[in-house]
Each structure stands twice: as structure tokens, then as C-alpha cells.
Amino acid sequence: MQEITPEQATATPMPRIGDLAPAFTAQTTQGLINFPADYAGKWTILFSHPADFTPVCTSEFMTFATMQDEFEAYNTQLVGLSIDGLYSHIAWLRTIKEKMVFRDMKNVEVTFPLIDDVSMNVASKYGMIMPGEATTQAVRAVFVIDPAGIIRTILYYPLALGRNFDELLRVIKGLQTADAFDVALPADWQPGEPVIVPPAGSCGTAEERMTNSGDDVECIDWFFCTKELSEQQVDAAIRVS
Ligand code: BEZ
């Protein structure tokens, strides 16, 4: 098993929100991909997991694969990665389909690409190896990349804690809603709940902002104005199928 030193792990600067997603070509369970070029015009979730044939990762893959249609309805493609090889990936995904049961999920077929990153080329470029947590495995990293190839959200989870995939869907819907309506979304926002307008840089009193922004805007103070945005309006703008 290949090991990475802290020096190697920090040799490449970690990508940040707002950066262009680092480019790479890689072999996957669905063939060769050229990332992010192959995904131009789509949102992508590039995520790493520590290792094939491990229980938390298995529960994550079953959950993500089961939700794949929902992500695709919001123009979002999934791409997984671990520093295991292709034959391990194929054997693990076959075991998941043939044997694994988690919650009410079974016979789950993973059809999104899973990258073979034995060389750690991609994991190193994306800062997925955190030697304080593990020197031979990637942590649970999530990069949300927009249709222009810009990194819009980064999440990191440790080895022992599985991710919340409803939150990832909320991130996708939230980013797309913020872009489509030029708004910001408050804590725990879900589609159908009030949104914050405009996102930044406004001034004036609450009264002035309400007057200038139209009837549907409500301000509690000059810096905190909201408006209603129904789930139907959100879906009409961002849902593609
Ligand atoms: C897991 O996916 O179950 C796992 C992977 C690496 C370390 C701990 C747990």
C-alpha cells in the first residue's frame, strides 16, 4: 500500500472555493475521463472515499447511487475516487449490487464513474490526503464544481463519519438557486423557504430597502431583508428533468 508523507501531501497547494477545478485524465469504472472538460455545462460532485470494501464507504455509495436520479434532475453528475485500483473498484461495486443491504436499499447498481487513483495523482491535486488522519487513504472530501469548472463548495469529513447526502443535494439546489435568483440562502434553507436579498453590499435603512426593492421584500433591519421564493419557482428555474 502506497503511503504519503506530510511533505508530499502539502507539496501541492489545496484548491479553494472560486478556483478552476484542477484538470486530470483518469481511468474509471466507466472508462477514461478527462476532468472537468468532459463535464462542461453540468454541475459535478467529485468525492473521495477512504477505501473499497469498507462499511461506511459502502453505505455512502449505496446512498449516493440511490439518489443519483435526484442529482441528475438538477443537472448534476457524480464522480467518486479512492486510491484503490480499477479491479478492486469493480469487485467492490459487484459485491454491493449482489450482496449488500443498507436501510431499505439493496441490489444497488453504481453507474457513476469511480476513479482508479492508485498513483494518488488526483487525490494529491485535490488535497484529499490528510496525513494526520491517514497516510494511505483519502479522507471523505467533496468538491462541488459548477458548469464552468469552478469549485463552488468544498466539504471534508474524517474517516469515521459518513456524509449526509441530503445536505449535498441541498448544497446543489442552494448554489443553483443563489445563481438563478441572485439571492443568498439562510441557515438550514430548504426550497420553498424565504431567501435573502440581495446577497451583499446593500445599504440604506430597512424602510428604504423595502421601498426600493419592491413589495415582496421584507426587512428586519437594513442588513437583513428576505423575500418569498416558492418551491415551484425554484424548481422551474433549476430542475432539468
Ligand atoms: C469505512 O468506510 O468504514 C472506513 C474506512 C476507513 C476507516 C474507517 C472506516
pLDDT in tens, the chain (241 residues): 788 888 888 888 999 999 999 999 999 999 999 999 999 999 999 999 999 999 999 999 999 999 999 999 999 999 999 999 999 999 999 999 999 999 999 999 999 999 999 999 999 999 999 999 999 999 999 999 999 999 999 999 999 999 999 999 999 999 999 999 999 999 999 999 999 997 555 667 777 777 766 668 999 988 899 999 999 999 999 999 9
Sheet containing strand 24-28, edge to edge, reads 31-35, 24-28, 114-116, 76-82, 43-48, 140-145, 151-157
Q: Is 180:237 a contact under the CB 8 Å cutoff?
A: yes
CA 25 to ligand 1 center in whole angstroms: 27
| Nearest of 134, 125, 179 to residue 152 by alpha carbon | 179
| Nearest of 148, 129, 167, 112 to residue 48 by alpha carbon | 129
CA 48 to ligand 1 center in whole angstroms: 12
* Active-site residue, 57 included: yes
Sheet containing strand 217-221, edge to edge, reads 195-196, 224-227, 217-221
Kindly state if the Cβ of 161 falls inside 6 Å of ligand 1.
no
Kindly state if the Cβ of 122 falls inside 6 Å of ligand 1.
no
Q: Considering the entire predicted model, what is its pTM?
A: 0.96
